Amino acid sequence: MNFTQPIIDDFDYVVFGGTGDLARRKLLPALYHRDADGQLPAASRIIGSARAEMTRKQFQTLVHKSLTEFVGAKALDKASLSRFLDRLHYVSCDATADHGWAELATLLNNEPRKVRIFYLATAPELYGAIADTIKRHALNTPETRIVLEKPIGHDLASARDINDRVGAVFDERTIFRIDHYLGKETVQNLLVLRFANSLFEPVWNHNGIDHVQITVAETVGVEDRGGYYDHTGALRDMIQNHLMQLLCLVAMEPPASLDRESVRDEKIKVLHALAPITPADIATKSVRGQYRAGAINGNPVKAYADEHDIAPGSTTETFAALKVEVKNWRWAGVPFYLRSGKRMPEKVSEIVIQFKPVPYWIFPTGSDQAQPNRLVIRVQPNEHIRLHLWTKEPGPGGLRLRNAPLNLSFAETFKEHLPDAYERLLMDVVRGNATLFMRRDEVEAAWQWTETIIDAWKNAGDRPRLYTAGTWGPTEAIAMIVRDNRSWFDEQAGEPIQS
């Protein structure tokens, strides 16, 4: 890899939930990539921990298998793999009792100056208990940090409870609440685009922008996470965190610097400026959906109701769309349309900034079809930023306009391996850089706003509209935006050509 990477200090990464899905799919592959790129110092170790009894050798074998699956056998470098496996240790610990903790303490070897990280990739109900146990065993050294995976609770009260309990053991500066969307390359690029270029800021407001769309669509269903998902739903699982973070980055004022507090201070102002979606609004500003059987890329898939671990008659939403208003000077009158769903026709996360039309169209015909400029920030896949501009089609005879995107493609720049969001974020934790992590007040403000919608749905007995797997959600989500004379952006549909 040809980008420069900051030197980091020696560390011990203790991953609770070390044999779980997240660790195997994301965390361990991310650490492997950083190691293969030469970023991990020699004495750094990774300590997996879970309830299951397992030897170090068995854990190494499990991780080897996971890397083969999720990094890819071909991409694994023999020397890097063997160095990485050597860093691995395993301790069986019970999060809620003392079993295993003395062994963990011995392994950590009382090294107060070594960076120590506790990564909690477990159910959030265990976060408080793990923090208590860390305290009881005096494992919180001055160089210790704790990482909390989302979701931080399932509502405001449970989030506060987790924050209180973890906060009783760890100083806020050492708590890293992760939202992996903030580690995605294009999401960070959004900050650079907005604040390193003078071009956009003068039009980045209600004078220049008509509306904003944020779409996070997935083709996967709930897979084997039915037990978790059925109590969660799309609003809690995706919108309360990932989409709201994206919204904050689009809408926030320029921070004074990139330090941890400046960026987070600006994001929280956006959250505080969100107009609540009240019971009177839910019919016009929100849509919930649940997938029925259908097909993705020609492959039949079953209905949500028939997935494993889903309660009979479940009303959990697998799709949600919202019309959000940011009540402040910059954004008055500019709607933000958010949507996220499972079992959509393609996996795509993108932000679309739709600019206002020119005040007067001087070109002879077709003015009714002219799409105003658009900035498309494609978070994944094929990461890119595209600015859709009108240009003249070359050639004599008639004046034909063509919508030609100015294209910045990151996927092409990082042909071999576009770093995963977790790679950046896991190293930021070691470096103590919390700019891309959520502060306590942000998480709580996001829950507070989301909870109003959850309560309104519940009190109205709102049932999700069914949509066929492999479509863009219920027709009501299309109607919601069409009512405002707008439409969801569809890159495949292309732009009309004027003549």
Q: Which of 242, 308, 384, 388 is catalytic?
A: 242
Whole-angstrom distance, CA of residue 12 vs CA of residue 196: 36
Residues near 164 by beta carbon (within 8 Å), at least 6 away in sequence: none
* Nearest residue (CB) to ligand BG6, 135 versus 347: 347
Report how many residues bind ligand BG6 under the rule CB under 6 A.
5
Least distance CB 493 / ligand BG6 (angstroms): 23
Closest CA to 83 of 34, 139, 130: 34
Q: Checking phi first, is residue 119 left (phi over 0); if not, alpha (psi -120 to 50) or beta?
A: beta
- Looking at beta carbons, which residue is closest to ligand BG6? 237
Least distance CB 218 / ligand BG6 (angstroms): 5
Least distance CB 428 / ligand BG6 (angstroms): 17
Least distance CB 384 / ligand BG6 (angstroms): 16
Degrees, nearest 5: CA angle 252-258-264:
50
Binding mask 227-246 for ligand BG6 (x = CB under 6 A): ----------x---------
By the 8 A CB rule, do 473 and 321 touch? yes
Least distance CB 151 / ligand BG6 (angstroms): 8
Binding mask 130-169 for ligand BG6 (x = CB under 6 A): --------------------x-------------------
Copy the structure tokens of residue 364: 């002879």
Residues 349-408 contacting ligand BG6, CB under 6 A = 349
Q: State which of residues 125, 218, 261, 491 lies at the interface with ligand BG6 (CB under 6 A).
A: 218
Residues 175-204 contacting ligand BG6, CB under 6 A = 180
Sign of CA dihedral 326, 329, 335, 337: negative
Residue 317 binding ligand BG6, by CB under 6 A: no
Question: Residues for the chain: how many in total?
Answer: 499
* Nearest residue (CB) to ligand BG6, 325 versus 423: 423
* Nearest residue (CB) to ligand BG6, 26 versus 211: 26
* Nearest residue (CB) to ligand BG6, 148 versus 282: 148
* Nearest residue (CB) to ligand BG6, 144 versus 340: 340
* Nearest residue (CB) to ligand BG6, 187 versus 274: 187
Least distance CB 181 / ligand BG6 (angstroms): 7
Q: Is 242 a catalytic residue?
A: yes
Amino acid at 113: R
Least distance CB 349 / ligand BG6 (angstroms): 6
CA 328 to chain centre: 25
Least distance CB 224 / ligand BG6 (angstroms): 12
* Nearest residue (CB) to ligand BG6, 180 versus 343: 180
Amino acid at 461: G
* Nearest residue (CB) to ligand BG6, 100 versus 341: 341
Where in the sequence numbering do the catalytic residues fall? 242
Summarize as ranges the residues that interact with ligand BG6 (CB under 6 A): 150, 180, 218, 237, 349
